[in-house]
Amino acid sequence: MDDAERARGPWRRNLNVLWFCTFVAGMAFSEIMPFLSLFVSQLGDFTKAQVTFYSGLAFAADYAISAISAPLWGILADRKGRKIMLLRASLGMGIAMGLMGFVTSVWQLVALRAIQGVFAGFISNAQALVASQTPRKYSGRALSTLITGAVSGQLFGPVVGGFLAQVFSIRNTFFITAGLLFVAFLLSLFFVEEHFKPVEHHREPGASRNPLAAFKNPTLIIVMLCSTAIVQFGNASIAPIISLYVRELMNYRGPITVVAGIIAALPGISNIIAAPRLGRYGDNHGSGRVLVFGYIFAVIMYFPQGLISSVIVLGLLRFAIGISDGALYPEIQTVLTKNTPAHLTSTVFSYNQSFQAIGNMLGALLGGIVAGWFDYNAVFIMTAVLLLLNLGLILWLVPTIWHKNMQTVE
């Protein structure tokens, strides 16, 4: 589709509907995290070490499988359309989530988490659909708006999940979450419209078999995918220890779970406010500039989090992190969109999801290891150093990222 066709299409309605669907999906994926280890402990007579191991296995199973399956679904989406992938993902994950409420052993739970990973891809395909249907001059704004749905849902999910588990029980929370995913399925089925035009590819004699040959700047694509993994690694390394850090800062007294839930939600609030504005600025002045700002701001905000002694200061700094997330996540995807041929949009977004899953898996594992070896504050400092190195890598390998008129693919 050229820009004229995109402008006449239902891209605004798709954006609004998919914003809500990605919010629901993001919340559904993350709201079981607060009680997953508690649920594991109810499935057998385990030692503390066994509960920790099985919880990590259940957590990682989803991301490990989705890292493998996402590119395959992305290739199929580029051939058959993105809407059908939305329906496949929401329905498949909803069924897997509902079945988790019936499990009686930890291995059944791990297996269903892995099956959920097979059907993953709702958010990445929503992003691909919006990217492929939106006029390119609005792509940064649209993707920045869309990402606030997923990120906010993921950040509010643990608070909602903890409340649902407390009120309705853990098993019933799985059923409620499955119902939310079914709502996303129905909304996608009846209100999302896609004008999909499959592109036939004919390999010229002697043409390169290198999949990166289709990109004018393959180095940029690789660096952005690696950046997705590193940014996600940073956030995933913080998530498992944030409530423990809050408990320590509060000297093990007071409403710790309530305060931890609020602090976990603060980045989502600032992300909703900042991401669309940063996306609009990126459309007008260059996505790369917003990306560089996001890295610098994140490094400045992460370092002090490992050095403070006040939970209030931690809350302020976590609120600020939502601003950097509003710059990093959407602008990485906007740069990918603007430098990817239209017929490979879903493929690239699916690879992006794979790198995000790898970052999630490694971040949670290594974050816990670093916290165990040193202390909670070391995780924040590690994240700041990683983001600083990531920025240096971008500026070294893709120095044109800073330029307003960085080359884009039509």
Count how many residues are written for the chain. 410
pLDDT confidence bin for 409, thresholds 50/70/90:
very low
Highest average pLDDT, of 173-187, 207-221, 237-251, comes from: 173-187
pLDDT confidence of residue 103: 93
Cβ proximity of 192 and 83 under 8 Å: yes
The yes-or-no verdict on residue 198 having pLDDT over 70 is: no
For the segment 86-122, what is each residue's pLDDT rounded down to a tens digit? 999 999 999 999 999 999 998 999 899 989 988 887 8
DSSP state of 201: -
pLDDT on residue 3: 61
What is the rounded average pLDDT of the residues 357-364?
80
Given a cut of 70, whether residue 338 has pLDDT beyond it is yes
Examine residue 407 and state whether it is found in any structural domain, yes or no: no
- In this structure, is residue 206 part of a structural domain? no
Distance from C-alpha of 99 to C-alpha of 92, rounded to nearest angstrom: 11
Question: In whole angstroms, how far apart are CA 77 and each of 12, 14, 253?
Answer: 21, 17, 51
pLDDT score recorded for residue 408: 46
271 or 192, higher pLDDT: 192
Within a domain: 394: yes
Amino acid 91: pLDDT: 94
For residue 279, pLDDT over 90 is answered with no
Instruction: List CB contacts of 273: < 8 A, sequence separation 6 or more.
Output: 322, 326
Which segment, 26-40, 243-257, 320-334, is predicted with the most confidence on average? 320-334
Tell me the per-residue pLDDT of 15-39, one tens digit each, with 9 for 90 and over.
889 999 999 888 887 777 766 766 7
* Class of residue 408 by CB neighbours under 10 A (exposed 0-12, middle 13-18, buried 19+): middle
Task: Give the pLDDT score at 56.
Answer: 67
Average pLDDT rounded to a whole number, residues 363-370: 74
Task: Please state, in angstroms and rounded to a whole number, the distance separating the CA atoms of residues 316 and 217.
Answer: 39
Q: Is the CB of residue 323 less than 8 Å from the CB of residue 212?
A: no
In the predicted structure, residue 327 carries a pLDDT above the cut 90: no
pLDDT of 111 reads: 93
Between 258 and 76, where is the model more confident?
76
**Exposure of 312 by Cβ count < 10 A (0-12 exposed, 13-18 middle, 19+ buried)?**
exposed
Q: Quick check: is 409 in a domain?
A: no
Predicted local distance difference test score (pLDDT) of residue 109: 92
The pLDDT assigned to 96 comes to 93
Indicate left, alpha or beta for 169 from its phi (over 0: left) and psi (-120 to 50: alpha).
left
pLDDT value at 389 more than 90: yes
Is 201 domain-assigned? Answer: no
Of 225 and 141, more confident:
225
pLDDT at 202 over 50: no
Count of domains forming the chain: 1
For residue 200, the model assigns a pLDDT of 55
Rg (C-alpha) for the chain, rounded Å, is 21
Average pLDDT over residues 381-398: 90
Range of the domain at 346: 3-195+213-402
What is the predicted pLDDT for the residue at 181? 92
Quick check: 410 pLDDT over 50?
no
Report the pLDDT value the prediction gives residue 29, as an integer from 0 to 100.
78
Give the range with max mean pLDDT: 150-159, 312-321, 365-374: 312-321
pLDDT score recorded for residue 210: 59
In the predicted structure, residue 269 carries a pLDDT above the cut 60? yes
DSSP string, 267-289: HHHHHHHHHHHHHHHHHHH-HHH
Q: Rounded CA gap, 393 and 86, in Å?
A: 34
**Who's near 29: CB < 8 A, 6+ residues apart?**
153, 154, 157
User: Can you give the CATH number for the domain in which 142 is found?
Assistant: 1.20.1250.20
Q: Average pLDDT in the 339-348 region?
A: 73
Answer yes or no: is 208 within a domain. no
In a domain, 243, yes or no: yes
Mean pLDDT of the chain: 80
pLDDT at 59: 74
Q: Is residue 26 part of a domain?
A: yes
Of 96-110, 143-157, 200-214, the poorest mean pLDDT is in: 200-214
